[in-house]
Chain A
Amino acid sequence: MPQPYAPQPAIEFRGVTKSFSHGSGRRLLMLQLFRQLAGHWKQSAENPFYALRDISFSIDPGESLALIGHNGAGKSTLLSLATRVAEPDEGEVIVRGRLSSVLDLGAGFHPDLTGYENLTLNASLIGFSREQIAACTPAVIEFCGLGKFLEDPIRTYSSGMVMRLAFAIAVELDPDVIVIDEMIAVGDDEFQQKCLLRIRGLRERGKTILLASHNLPTILEFCDHALWLDHGKVKMQGQAHQVVKAYKSRASM
């Protein structure tokens, strides 16, 4: 279908900076508290640590972008901003469409609730309606393969089972945008293959994917573009294979 104008990006970062206060001294905390009560939350207390500095990029609908970089480069902070759980100090984060995420897996589950209950709770808090959840539930059940275990409390699950459920919820709720952190650690080999297949399916259905991973072959397979973060700044951004190549040569030095 011809587009009268270029589609708007599904995710857009415009000059985004995010700082955290360094340390947690009592005086500093109080200072931060009073500053915010006075209405100046954007200024971080003295001695801020900049997790991200002036980040700009965009992902068009249906595209996939990989984040690469060493531990502490700011990947997780960037993902937390993209999922809107954290707010930037400066700049703007714009997301168009419904977003679901697989961050550190299982977070957001309540141990005493059953798998089903956690599924509904999680989905309602992501922003899905009762009807949407009802429509997706069979697919989640099918994908996670947990069967009647879904009627047991999550605390009785193995960590692999929790991950299966978290991943199933994230991919089967039919989001427009999906954010994935280190998904390669999910479950056993068989389930990993299933996840990869599913991500491929999401791509084919035109979903937008933002993925952070250390697994370079996976990135090459799934992502059109890549963004290399280094100490909170963009080191390089472009075609996935070029960025990965540069990252590899740098890493082996």
Chain B
Amino acid sequence: MQSHLSPEAAAPRWQGEYRFALQQLVLKDFRSRYRNMSLGIFWSLLNPLIMMALLTFVFTQVFPTARAAFPVFVLCGIIPYNFFALAWSTGTASLLDNTGLIKKVPVPREIIPVASVLSNCLHVFIQFGLLVGFLLAYGFTINRYWLLLPIIWGFYVLFIIGMVLATSVLNIYVRDMRYVVESMNTVLFWLVPIFYGGEMIKPEYVEIYSLNPIAALVQATRNILMEGRAPAFSLILKLSLSSLTVLVVGWTMFQRLKHRVYDYL
């Protein structure tokens, strides 16, 4: 026996390496998602392209709006929204999808939903490359405010992790959580300024919009990429505070509910 400091000292519940386990789980999500697809990773480009073409057609040909570079404009909205919608729905199902693992290894439960969100981040990188391509093609240039992008997107990822922590563990107890999430995603498609601009929102709703991290992120991203200016400080503040609040609430819920996850699986 190794020497223990006190007779009570026991091995912690799990003695593995968080980062290695997280990396393996992200790899697993990735491999299992793309291995059996003919187009593989190109799906992550196809979806925003189709949405972009559709919305551009509707809002330049059917309901004409006088907005320059509409494809770029809509892409700035659809990429953050898609990231959220996909990560939230797959993350919500993640604990249930990994029942086999949860019943076999005492890996800290929170790693599973977090890995599920992170595995969606790679799509965002690829889609962001697409967006940059369109930006340059439409004559936009790279400016120094781009340095803000990792910060605001970082908060956005924390926000999504918070949402996923809450709903993934609720989904164990209340299995219809999945449908709640799907319906919410549909609602959000309209309530996030994807095909309309933040300036079109009536003053009485602006406050609510800026407290929604998805809407705030779309706004801030457009400020930086298309208008070449820093987002309002108040917008970044609200985005960061609402994201951190969601993360803390999600984390707390997860910690309280995780003890009986095994029992209800």
Contacts and interface: CB of A to CB of B under 8 A. Distances in A.
Do A and B pair up? The answer is yes
Interface of A: 7-8, 12, 20-21, 29-30, 32-33, 36-39, 41-42, 61, 80, 83-87, 94-98, 101, 103, 107-110, 112-113, 117, 120-122, 124-130, 153
A98 B106 contact: no
Contact of A108 (B4, B100, B253, B259): B100
Given A112-B36, A121-B25, A85 B260 contact: no
B28 A110 contact: yes
A33 B174 contact: yes
B24 A36 contact: no
A128 B16 contact: yes
B259 A85 contact: no
B176 to A, nearest CB: 10
B253 A86 contact: no
Given A84-B13, A113-B28, A124-B20, A103 B104 contact: yes
Contacts, number: 122
A124 B21 contact: yes
Nearest to A117: B31
B17 A129 contact: yes
A112 B35 contact: yes
Given A103-B103, A125-B21, A96 B13 contact: no
Contact of B20 (A38, A112, A130): A130
B104 A108 contact: yes
Given A33-B173, A108-B101, A121-B25, A98 B15 contact: yes
B173 A32 contact: yes
Contact of A8 (B7, B20, B256, B257): B7
Given A117-B28, A120-B24, A8 B1 contact: yes
Interface string B1-32: 10010010011011111001101110110011
Nearest to A100: B105
Given A33-B174, A96-B11, A121 B28 contact: yes
- Of the candidates A20, A109, A110, the one having the most CB atoms from chain B within 10 angstroms of its own CB is A110
Contacts of A42: 259
B160 to A, nearest CB: 21
Contact of B32 (A98, A107, A110, A122): A110
Contacts of B102: 85
B173 A29 contact: yes
Given A109-B100, A121-B28, A129-B20, A29 B174 contact: yes
Contact of B24 (A21, A30, A124): A124
A106 to B, nearest CB: 8
A128 B107 CA distance: 11
Nearest to B22: A124
Given A33-B173, A87-B262, A126-B107, 19 more contacts: A30-B174, A32-B173, A33-B174, A37-B253, A41-B256, A42-B259, A84-B13, A84-B14, A96-B4, A96-B10, A103-B104, A107-B104, A117-B31, A120-B24, A122-B104, A124-B16, A126-B105, A127-B15, A127-B105
Nearest to A51: B263
Given A122-B105, A125-B16, A130-B20, A61 B1 contact: yes
A8 B32 contact: no
Contacts of A30: 174
Contact of B100 (A83, A84, A107): A107
5 contacts: A8-B1, A38-B256, A98-B15, A125-B25, A125-B101
Contacts of B4: 8, 96
A56 to B, nearest CB: 16
Contacts of B103: 80, 85, 103, 107-108
B16 A127 contact: yes
Contacts of A38: 256
Contacts of B16: 124-129
A96 B1 contact: yes
A5 B223 CA distance: 69
